[in-house]
A and B are shown apart, each in its own frame.
Chain A
Amino acid sequence: MSNTNEMTLEFTSISQNESFARVVVAAFISRTNPTIEEVSDVKTAVSEAVTNSIIHGYDNGDGKISIKTVVQDRQVYIEIRDEGKGIPDIERAMEPLFTTRPDMDRSGMGFSFMEAFMDELHVESEVGKGTVIKMRKEIGAGHHFE
């Protein structure tokens, strides 16, 4: 029997959907039996990626964001995709405190938080085409009983 479970969610790029997106992902991964802290970590990471798509990918304009979540044993894989303007310099965008929108009180910590709260983070982006954020987290990594 395969121990894989998968879901895909697509929604409009508006900021009210940030909380919807992270709550759906949190509910979906609940079968891995995560701690409250692990759920909180995943919710924060999802929120960061979705907010980036809304503010930067689509410049607060129209668009669709999709989230694919795969649960495989204790691994959680999350892919957040937009078809927005893309990131010209990914390395620069990932620098701590770097932001293109200091005027909007953006902290520049989005990618740092995704990296800190998840075990793995990959960013793929093409200018004019969009951005895909891929993240992985192992649930229960902190408390093995073997």
Chain B
Amino acid sequence: MKLYDIENGIMVYYLPEELDHYAAERIRKKSDAVFDEKEVKNLIFDFKNTCFMDSSGIGLITGRYRKIHDNGGTAYIVNVNSAIDKVLKMSGIYRIIGKWNSKEDIINELIKGGYYE
């Protein structure tokens, strides 16, 4: 399965079924080099396939968020189920990264904000 996608400066992470320490380390190792090389302006964390997450997942998200934030970009969270939502809420991460219903909504928001010209 695809780990991520980069298009028009938007990087989408397709998070795995179980986002624990093991998975988080793999994602970090496989994507950070790309992250540094390519011009990533915005980040989308897609939880469509994810049914388990612990604090290692929070660490992964905040780590990537910090990088994008330093470059003036924005991050988005999409497609969370109730179990993932509970963990995300508890972590307080929604204070810095918004939760969206669909990727289309995020793209529309980016268009509105003048991201696409």
Closest to A14 in B: B22
A110 proximal to B (CB < 8 A): yes
The digit string for B34-71, where 1 denotes a CB below 8 A from any CB of A, is 00000000000000000011111011101100000000
Q: Are the C-beta atoms of A113 and B59 separated by less than 8 Å?
A: no
- Contact partner of A51 (CB less than 8 A), chosen from B21, B60, B62, B83, is B21
Closest to B22 in A: A15
Q: Are the C-beta atoms of A44 and B87 separated by less than 8 Å?
A: yes
B:1-56 near A, CB below 8 Å: 18, 20-22, 24-25, 28, 52-56
Q: How many A-B residue pairs have CB under 8 A?
A: 67
The digit string for A104-117, where 1 denotes a CB below 8 A from any CB of B, is 11111110110010
Query: How many residues from A make CB contacts under 8 Å with B?
Result: 25
Return chain B residues, CB-CB under 8 Å to A16. 22
Residues of B that sit less than 8 Å from A by CB: 18, 20-22, 24-25, 28, 52-56, 58-60, 62-63, 82-83, 86-87, 90-91
Return the 3 tightest CB-CB contacts between A and B, nearest first. Answer: A105-B63, A107-B59, A109-B55
A138 proximal to B (CB < 8 A): no
Q: Are the C-beta atoms of B90 and A47 separated by less than 8 Å?
A: no
Residues of A that sit less than 8 Å from B by CB: 15-16, 18-19, 22, 36-37, 40, 43-44, 47-48, 51, 54-55, 104-110, 112-113, 116
CA distance A116 to B86 in the complex (A): 11
Closest to B87 in A: A44
Q: Are the C-beta atoms of A107 and B56 separated by less than 8 Å?
A: yes
**Assuming A47-B52, A47-B54, A51-B55, what are 13 further A-B pairs, CB within 8 angstroms?**
A15-B22, A18-B21, A37-B82, A44-B52, A44-B54, A44-B87, A47-B56, A51-B20, A54-B21, A107-B59, A110-B55, A113-B54, A113-B87
